[in-house]
Structure 1
Amino acid sequence: MAAALTIAILLALSVSLVRIGAVAMRLTGLPEDIARFQCVSALTGTGFTTHEAEMIANYPIRRRIVVVLMVLGNLGLISIASTFIVAFVRTGPDMQHIAVQAAILAAAIAVTFMVLSNRALDRGMCALIGHILLRTTSLGEMGYHRILQLGKDLSIAEHEYFGPETPREALKLRGENLLAVRPAGSWQTTAASSVAVVRPGDTLILCGDEAAHEALSRELGHGTKNKR
C-alpha cells in the first residue's frame, strides 16, 4: 500500500511540476500549448528537437526552467523505478500479494490522473501558480506575448492596445511591421492592410526585434522590462 501511494504521489508531483513549468514559461511570453509540450518533453527526457525548442534555447530563463525540469524528471523516474522494484521484491513469489500490490498501484494511479485531468481543477491550479509566480518572481514582467521566434533577435509578438482610437497609419511603432490586428473580444484576425482604425482592446500582431518590442510595450502602458 505504501509503495503504491508513494508512486502515485511521485506521479502527482511530476504532473504538478509540468504545470508549474508551463505557467512559468507562459509568463515569459511562450504560448501555453508549446510551453506544456516542452515541459513534458523536458521532464520525461524525451527531447523533441523541434523548431519550438529554439524558442527555449535562445532565452536564459527558459533554459533554466527546462534544466530544473530535466533534473527533477530524472530523479522522479529513478524514485518511481526503485520504489516499484522494492515493492515487488518484498512481496516475494506470492502471486496473490503481487496481484494485490498491482491492483492498489493501478487504482492509485487512476485516481491521481482523474483528479489531475479535471479541467476546473487544472484552471484553478494554473491560476494559483501564476499568481504566486507573479508575486514572488520577475516572471510576467514582459508586456507582450511572443508567438513565433524567427531568429536570434527577431520575433512575431502580440501587443494589447489600450490607447485611444487611432487610424492604423497614425500608429507610432518602434520599427516593427504591423502584420495583423485582432479586434477586442474576437478571435478573428484581420490583415493589417484591411484595418482602417485601431481601437482600445485590440491586439496588434507585429514583427520586430526584441528592443522594438520592449520599447513599444512600455509605450503602450505595459510599463515593464523583459527580463530573461
Structure 2
Amino acid sequence: MISIVSLLVVIFLSILITRIATIALTHTGLTRESAKFQARSAFSGAGFTTSESEMVVNHPVRRRIVMLLILIGNAGIVAAVSTLILGFVQRGDASSLTLRIGLLIGGICVLWGFASSHWVDRWLSRIIDGMLNRFTRLNITDYASLLHLTGEYRLAELKIRESDWLAGRLIKDSRLRNEGINVLAVRRPDGTFIGNPVGDTLLQRGDALVLYGRIEAIEELDRRKAGFAGDQEHKEAVREQEEVLQEEAEKDASSGKRAD
C-alpha cells in the first residue's frame, strides 16, 4: 500500500515540476502552449525535434531549464517504475491486489483532474509566477540588456492555429493595440519575416507573431478561439486594458505631484 501511495506522490511531483518549468519557460518569451509542450517533452525524454526545440536549445536560459528537466525526469521515471513494480509484486490475497489497483486508478484519476483543472491551473500559476519573479532573475537575464522589460510586460511569441481568434484577420481589424498588445513582427510558415507589420497585414494559420504587452493579456489571447465567445473575450480584454491605462495614469499623476 505504501508503494502505491509513493507512486502517486511521484506522479504529483512530476506534474508540479513540469508546471513550474512551463511557467519558467514562458518567462523567457515562449507562449504557454509551446512552453508546456517543451517542458513535458523534456521531462518525459520524448525528444521531439521541432523549430521550437531549436529555439530552446539555442537559448541559454531555456537550455538550462530543459537540461534540469531531463535530469529530474530520468530519475522520476526510474523511481515511478520501481515503485510500481514493488507495489504489485508484494505477496497478498486477491482482495489486497484489487484494493491496490483501485487505489492506483483512483489516485491517478484525482491527479488527472488536478492537472486538467483550469481553476487549479490559474491558482498554481499565480503562485509559481510570483515565486519566480521574487526568487529568480529570468526576466533580467533575458531582456534587460536588450529592451529593459520589467514587471508584467514581456516579449513573447504566439503561433496562430486554425481555430484561433486571430486566424484570417487583418492586424488593424484585430485591434490588439486596444488590448495593450503590440505586434512587432510576423514570421510566415515558409520563413518569410515581416518586421513592424502594417495594419493591412493578414494573419494566417501557422504564422508566428512576436508580441509585446502584458503577459497575462498575451496568454489570454493565445487561448482565445474564433467565434462569438472570442469576440466577447476581446471586448473584455479591451475593457481590462482601459482599467490598466487608468491605473497607470493615476500612478503617473501621483508620482508627478510628489516630484513637485
Query: Normalising by the residue count of structure 1, what TM-score does the alignment of the two structures yield?
Result: 0.66
- How far apart, CA to CA, are the structure 1 residues paired with 2:54 and 2:73? 21
* Equivalent position of 2:62 in the other structure: 62
Q: CA offsets per residue over residues 45-91 of structure 1, 9 Å max, x none?
A: 10101111011011111011001111111111111111111121223
Report the Cα offset of residue 140 of structure 1: 2.6
Q: Would you tell me which structure has more helix in proportion to its own residues? A: 2
* Equivalent position of 1:77 in the other structure: 77
- How far apart, CA to CA, are the structure 2 residues paired with 1:48 and 1:15? 19
Q: Would you tell me which structure has more strand in proportion to its own residues? A: 1
Report the Cα offset of residue 97 of structure 1: 2.2
Q: Report how many aligned residue pairs link the two structures.
A: 173
Identity %: 31
CA gap 1:202/1:24 in 2 versus in 1, 3 angstroms: closer
- How far apart, CA to CA, are the structure 1 residues paired with 2:63 and 2:166? 31
* Equivalent position of 2:128 in the other structure: 129
- How far apart, CA to CA, are the structure 1 residues paired with 2:104 and 2:66? 29
Aligned residue type for 2:46: T
The 5 Å alignment of 1:28-107 reads 28-92=28-92, 94-107=93-106
SS in 2 for 1:56: helix
1:145 has 2:155 as partner: yes
CA gap 1:134/1:191 in 2 versus in 1, 3 angstroms: same
Aligned residue type for 1:53: S
CA gap 1:100/1:206 in 2 versus in 1, 3 angstroms: same
* Equivalent position of 1:13 in the other structure: 13
- How far apart, CA to CA, are the structure 2 residues paired with 1:120 and 1:67? 29
Aligned residue type for 2:58: N
SS in 1 for 2:138: coil
CA gap 1:115/1:34 in 2 versus in 1, 3 angstroms: same
* Equivalent position of 1:161 in the other structure: none
Report the Cα offset of residue 96 of structure 1: 2.9
- How far apart, CA to CA, are the structure 2 residues paired with 1:99 and 1:200? 54
The 5 Å alignment of 1:164-203 reads 190-191=170-171, 201-203=180-182
- How far apart, CA to CA, are the structure 2 residues paired with 1:121 and 1:191? 33
- How far apart, CA to CA, are the structure 2 residues paired with 1:200 and 1:91? 62
Unmatched 5+ residue regions in structure 2? 144-148, 160-164, 188-211, 215-260
